[in-house]
Structure formats: structure tokens, C-alpha cells
Amino acid sequence: MAVPKLELRSLGNTGLKLSSVGFGASPLGSVFGPVSESDAVASVREAFRLGINFFDTSPYYGATLSEKMLGKGLKALGVSRNEYIVSTKCGRYREGFDFSAERVTKSIDESLERLQLDYVDIFQCHDIEFGSLDQIVNETIPALQKLKEAGKIRFIGITGLPLDIFTYVLDRVPPGTVDVILSYCHYSINDSTLEDLLPYLKTKGVGVISASPLAMGLLTEFGPPEWHPASPELKSACQAAAVYCKEKGKNISKLAMQYSLSNKDISSVLVGMNSVKQVEENVAAATEVALFGKDHETLAEVEAILKPVKNQTWPSGIQRS
């Protein structure tokens, strides 16, 4: 039986078409527990086989290990470079934040070497709320434009948690300078505030990638990691929703994935993956929602449980260790 291919969605004005599910490579840096090289390579290979063409990493993930592992996985595919889309980031490193022109210019060369690539498709300033937004506008992005001219990157992006950082930067740079934003934890069952920003981003011609549809573990049966910055109230509501789904024979993570995938204005939903099994589950959730639509009944019940904590976020000043 032929594998149903994942839907491809246009990314802003870039001309790129991203798979609706993107491969988040942070777990390949053993961020959530050890991942062997063979598992990393097998995950990337299976993702590509099932139609995932978008892979996202950062030098910060696993202190450069994620980039190295992803590079090995992509090389093992043995396909031509234009068959997959790679994004990495700059400005956030194990040793701290540095959005200076000098550092980000050096950063791309280091990343390309680790990824074993000649260029990346998207180069993003990582978690810009921790830097000076004026520096991002006046120094970092102009430095990235030079890298674009040099052919080391194709498109420029910005990432972070608070949504107002995107409007701040996009209102201050020339139109078409920033091609894409990556937002996380703001388009999932418990928090859909990214939706309010979508019309604005469309007028700016900016593509949208949404990460962490499971809200960094809140919308899972086993719950979030200990360091998760959500309030106790939000954690217990999500736990109650997960228990409710399980009692009905449903999986909250699958439901959450399908919720995030159902908005076509979001080009790709990025999910962290580190095993063939995880890849298969995420792709299955996507192909199922494409064929049958969302599980409206269970979704409505889960939304009712989460209503008291809807759109409750947390300060991004809480750093992950």
C-alpha cells in the first residue's frame, strides 16, 4: 500500500513548501534523554520516507549535538539537497545569548560545518526576547541579509515565546526582510493566541511555523517535565484533560496534534522527535486528520475542561536548564 504523503503548505512569500508536520530536532541533542546516533539517523530517514521535508535545529540544542546528529541523518538520506528544507538558529548558545553581527556571522559557518551543508534554507534569531529587540532590528537582521547575499542562507526568521516581539520587529524592518516567524506554545488546545496574529503576519507576507503543539509536554498522558514553567492550575487542568481522553480510549497528544494541524495558515507544525515510533505516530495523526477531520466531540469536551485556563501563558524568563 502506498504511503499517503503529508500535505505541503506554502511558507509566506518564500516559495518554499513545507510538510504540514515538521521534524523538531532538539531531542536529537539528547535534551530529553540519551539518543543514539543510529536512532537519530533512523528517525530522520523514516521522517523523510513518510513525507516530512522540513527539519529544524539550533546550536543551542544539546550544545551543538542536535545539529551534528541531524547532519548525519540528512547525509544518510543520500538524496539531492533541494529535496529537504533545513532551518537552524543563531544568537542562543550553551554559553548564553549573543546577537551581535560578528557572532551570528561566525555562527552560520559553524552550523553549516556541523550540518554538513553548503547552505540552510532558513536562519532564525533564536528566542529574541532575551536580547535587545533594537539590536535584532538594527544589527542582527542586517548581518543576516549579508549572509543571504553570500548564499549561506536563503531566508531569515525570528523565534520566541511572547507574541509581541514579532510585531515589534516586523514593524521596524523593511517589508520582506524577515521571511518567517517561529512561535511556540501559542497554537495548541490550551492556548491559541497565535491565531490573533495570523492576519497581521499575512499582510506582512511572513510565513508561520508553530512549534510545541503538545505545549512542552502539558498535553501528554505522562505530563510535563519538572522544569515546566506553567502554573499548577494549568498543569492540573491539562492532566485532567489527559485522563479524560484516556478514559474515552483517546490520546490527548494525538488530539492536540490534530488541533494544531487544522489551521492551514500555519505552514508547519514542528514536533520534537527522536525515534521511528514517534515519527510514525506524528505522521499518522496528520494523515488521519487530513482524511477524516478533527475529532470534534472529544475536542469540545477537552476544550470545556481547559476553559478556565485557556490562553494562560508563562514568562519566558524562566530558562530551561
- Summarised one tens digit per residue, pLDDT across range 72-110 is 999 999 999 999 999 999 999 999 999 999 999 999 999
Cell numbers for 86? 533545513
Q: How many CB atoms lie within 10 A of CB 56?
A: 29
Mean pLDDT of the 186-215 span: 96
Return the pLDDT at 188: 95
Residue 279 has pLDDT above 50, yes or no: yes
pLDDT value of residue 321: 33
* Cα–Cα distance measured from residue 170 to residue 235, given in angstroms and rounded to the nearest whole number: 33
Q: Is 84 a catalytic residue?
A: no
pLDDT given for residue 290 in this prediction: 84
The three-state secondary structure class of 178 is coil
Does the structure show a pLDDT above 90 at 316?
no
Can you give the three-state secondary structure of 16-51, one letter per residue? CEEECEEEECHHHHCCCCCCCHHHHHHHHHHHHHCC
Output phi, psi for 269, to 5 deg.
-100, 115
pLDDT in tens, 260-271: 999 999 999 999
pLDDT exceeds 80 at position 192: yes
pTM to 2 decimal places = 0.94
CA 123 to CA 234: how far, in whole Å?
A: 33
Express each pLDDT in 231-261 by its tens digit.
999 999 999 999 999 999 999 999 999 999 9
Contact predicate 57/112, CB 8 Å: no
Decide the pairing of beta strands 8-10 and 180-184.
unpaired
In eight-state DSSP terms, residue 217 is G
Which residues touch 304 (CB under 8 Å, ≥6 apart)?
A: none
The answer to whether the beta carbons of residues 24 and 270 sit under 8 Å apart is yes
Distance, CA of 237 to CA of 234 (rounded, Å): 5
| Residue pLDDT, tens place only, 12-67 | 999 999 999 999 998 887 666 778 889 999 999 999 999 999 999 999 988 899 99
Q: Which residue of the set 60, 61, 93, 259 is catalytic? A: 61
What pLDDT, on the 0 to 100 scale, is given for residue 2? 54
